[in-house]
Structure 1
Amino acid sequence: MAYLDAASTEPLHPAARDALLAAIDAGWADPARLYGTARRAQMLLEHSRGEVAELLGARPDEVSFTSSGTQAVHLGVLGTLRGRRRAGRHLVTSAVEHSAVLHAAETHEADGGTAEVVGVDILGRVDAAAFAEAVARPGTALACLQTANHEVGTLQPVEEAAEACAAAGVPLLVDAAQSAGRLPIPAGWSVLTASAHKWGGPAGVGVLAIRKGTRWRSPYPEDERERRRVPGFENVPAVAAAAAALRARAAEEAAEGARLSALVDRIRTEVPRLVPDVEVIGDPVRRLPHIVTFSCLYVEGEALLTELDKAGFAISSGSSCTASTLRPSHVLEAMGVLTHGNVRVSLPRGVSEGDVDRFLAVLPDIVRRIRASLGVH
């Protein structure tokens, strides 16, 4: 099986595995206690915090660990809105944010707040001028913009958005889930969220970083853990593994990122050449190095993914469109692109050129057979 779904979760990095096994023995105790084993766990937790902070461009005391990237987003969005209620109750997001951001926005609206969604162009990039205009509206308490889109890989103009937010006195939450460990974090954020399993760490570790001076108040009942930001017992071994994976990925990304980007360029070029009626989606240049998405006309996405699975490829769709729900991805809808037969190929660390060769070899016949079964020739 060729695993080509790294945008969902990256396989555990060897450095993370080694760190996890070592930390299970050294970091199992409660880091809030005072006896020796607990102090060792606390030292391991704080060392990991320092490493993650350095690699993400934050201070250690700005970083907290959550149970997932989704929890980090929910805490970041709702906590900042709660902390800034005196400034206003208006939230600004892009139309292509992760569903975690959009669901938090829905919760904010249900609580009496307002939310404004800024559109994107056909490549999936937010309109920077429209975003700046939105954050300048009186009563805006928070703006949210991802570093790069999780479905099509397009990079967002985060630094331009950050300048507009700074001019308006509005904090910017940046969701860096897809880019952390792969690309430098853009400057200007007030709140940053990320997820360790996207960079080869274990699942169950999210990162919430809040810049000093950013008003934030937990939407949860108060808890003593993680600087009163995140409730619950810290998973110290998993945090240590997450830090080790991030450090290892950052060290190898210059070479590996360039290699993956070249393979993505090949897929972007070859798929429309080999398969008729295909639309390759997202920015071909200003993009993540490992993601390529395309849509096939006259093909059901679910059938295409099932047949690719039978052929030995673990691949997902950037669209939630299935035969039963007929509900396309909000990202693809916002871009105004083809949503039928959508495939997102996301290359993991170490993927071979042979896996890409084989994918390009089997894809045309799979699409042809599915179209033929529907009477399309």
Structure 2
Amino acid sequence: MNEPPAYFDAASAAPLHPVARQAMLAALEDGWADPGKLYTQARRAHQLLDAARAATAEVLRVRPDELSFTPGGTAAAHAAVLGGLVGRRRVGGTLVHSAIEHSAVLHAAERHVAGGGSATSVPVARSGRLDLDAWSTAVAAPGVALAALITASHEVGTVQPVAEAAEACATAGVPLYVDAAQSVGRIPVPAGWAVLSASAHKWGGPPGVGLLVVRKGTRWESPYPADEREAGRTPGVPNLPAIVAAAAALRMADAEATAEAGRLSPLVDRIRATVSATVPDVEVVGDPVDRLPHLVTFSCLYVDGEALLHALDRRGFAVSSGSSCTSSTLRPSHVLEAMGVLSHGNVRISLHRGSTAAEVDRFLGELPEIVADLRAEAGVVGL
């Protein structure tokens, strides 16, 4: 009998949490009106929006009026970067960011540079960890308006030294924006940041809901035309049923985070150790200790990434291959390139609350044969 497919791409989109489904269905019945209006149905919708905002803010340990909902994590990242730069344009026009930021942040940086600004990329070590000395030097330079640091690598799982980076920013008087998409709902985000973004479908909420948090006292201006909704930070009518579902899923993810980390981290350790022992010419990348509990990446020499993805999919394993930001093109990962590690035949495994030890064992049992077959097809033998 064929085994059910194993979904190993939660870092891209985690399966919808059951409580999110229930909350969304309820909100579709009770929260369909425009919360910005004054009639009865609208007031009820506004109550639901306020409750979702308060619940989300409580998990993030921020004020509700510091939190806005956006149409997704990418929109939140773009607004965080561009709004932070606009708000500090009198100080200067330089953005400092790590070399391994998500593509959404890098694309915002490109837009800023095209408009006459500048950007400084800070390198990382082979483990994927930020070079703190280089970071401290970069943020202390004249004219730096904003610094951007991902809280944990979306591709290799390395947790970044956010607290130390924030301290360097505070010394230089530069606000820090953190992309917390992979952290929220899984591990705590250290204090010291001024702007934060996150994405609901990473923690089991529905797609199309992002979080933008701007702490009080932070100079930030919306890069969009004026809109009275969401404190003027993001335009358009909020998708209330999805927001309610996202808030419900986040509360559950936060409550389950410690237990899930304790369950998934040993499975990731098993993948790291077994892949290294059973697949020749493979490199498991990312910090083995200071890492996200659910994510592991490895690269196989002499294997085409697209072919490996399809071969695994045919065996019932949904994984990310190539760059997680550009999987439609399977261009080499800018994160792996910045780390200076092998990028051929790259596989990212990211587990979720439904992942099982049996699925992991089946994957580990089949992977060596799959890689060997692909190498044989390419004429690579005798490894």
TM-score, normalising length: structure 2: 0.96
Q: Which of 209, 223, 228 lines up with 1:205 in the alignment?
A: 209
| Conserved? CA contact 2:102–2:325, under 8 Å | no
Aligned to 2:162: 158
Q: Which of 7, 11, 18 lines up with 1:14 in the alignment?
A: 18
Q: Distance in 2 between matches of 1:356 and 1:229?
A: 42
Q: Which runs of 4+ in 1 moved over 2 A?
A: 318-322, 324-327
Gaps of 5+ in 2: none
| 1:266-305 C-alpha deviation (Å, 9 max, x unpaired) | 0000001111110000000000000000000110011111
Aligned to 1:115: 119
| Conserved? CA contact 1:321–1:327, under 8 Å | no
Task: Quote how far apart the aligned CAs of 1:63 are.
Answer: 0.2
| Conserved? CA contact 1:293–1:318, under 8 Å | no
Q: Distance in 2 between matches of 1:302 and 1:135?
A: 38
Q: Distance in 1 between matches of 2:235 and 2:325?
A: 35
| Conserved? CA contact 1:3–1:315, under 8 Å | yes
1:61 matched to 2:65: yes
Residue 52 to residue 25, structure 1, CA distance change in 2 (3 Å): same
Amino acid at match of 2:279: V
Aligned to 1:127: 131
Task: Quote how far apart the aligned CAs of 1:321 are.
Answer: 11
Task: Quote how far apart the aligned CAs of 1:326 are.
Answer: 7.7
Q: Distance in 1 between matches of 2:337 and 2:213?
A: 31
Amino acid at match of 2:37: R
Task: Quote how far apart the aligned CAs of 1:327 are.
Answer: 3.4
Q: Distance in 2 between matches of 1:108 and 1:243?
A: 32
Amino acid at match of 2:265: S
Q: Which of 230, 245, 251 lines up with 2:234 in the alignment?
A: 230
Q: Which of 275, 291, 302 lines up with 2:306 in the alignment?
A: 302
Q: Which of 225, 243, 263 lines up with 1:239 in the alignment?
A: 243
Q: Distance in 1 between matches of 2:212 and 2:323?
A: 27
| 1:63-97 C-alpha deviation (Å, 9 max, x unpaired) | 00000100001001001100111011111000000
Aligned to 1:218: 222
Aligned to 1:76: 80
Gaps of 5+ in 1: none
Aligned to 1:287: 291
| Conserved? CA contact 1:151–1:318, under 8 Å | no
| Conserved? CA contact 1:69–1:206, under 8 Å | yes
Aligned to 1:333: 337
| Conserved? CA contact 2:322–2:330, under 8 Å | no
| 1:326-366 C-alpha deviation (Å, 9 max, x unpaired) | 83110000000001000000001121110001000110000
Q: Distance in 1 between matches of 2:36 and 2:315?
A: 50
Paired residues, what number?
A: 377
Q: Distance in 1 between matches of 2:145 and 2:315?
A: 49
Residue 40 to residue 332, structure 1, CA distance change in 2 (3 Å): same
| Conserved? CA contact 2:305–2:322, under 8 Å | no
Q: Percent identity?
A: 68
Residue 325 to residue 216, structure 1, CA distance change in 2 (3 Å): closer
SS at match of 2:145: strand
SS at match of 1:250: helix
Residue 195 to residue 326, structure 1, CA distance change in 2 (3 Å): closer
| Conserved? CA contact 2:73–2:197, under 8 Å | yes
| 1:15-60 C-alpha deviation (Å, 9 max, x unpaired) | 1011111111111100001111111100100110011111112110
| 1:91-144 C-alpha deviation (Å, 9 max, x unpaired) | 100000000000000000011001000000000111011111100111100000
1:367 matched to 2:371: yes
| Conserved? CA contact 2:323–2:330, under 8 Å | no
SS at match of 2:225: coil
Q: Distance in 1 between matches of 2:84 and 2:174?
A: 11
Amino acid at match of 1:334: A
SS at match of 1:184: coil
Amino acid at match of 1:257: A
Q: Distance in 1 between matches of 2:21 and 2:138?
A: 44
1:167 matched to 2:171: yes
User: RMSD value over aligned CA atoms?
Assistant: 1.5
Q: Distance in 2 between matches of 1:367 and 1:188?
A: 44
Q: Distance in 2 between matches of 1:194 and 1:57?
A: 14
Amino acid at match of 1:252: E
1:101 matched to 2:105: yes
Q: Distance in 1 between matches of 2:318 and 2:331?
A: 22
SS at match of 2:37: coil
Residue 321 to residue 182, structure 1, CA distance change in 2 (3 Å): closer
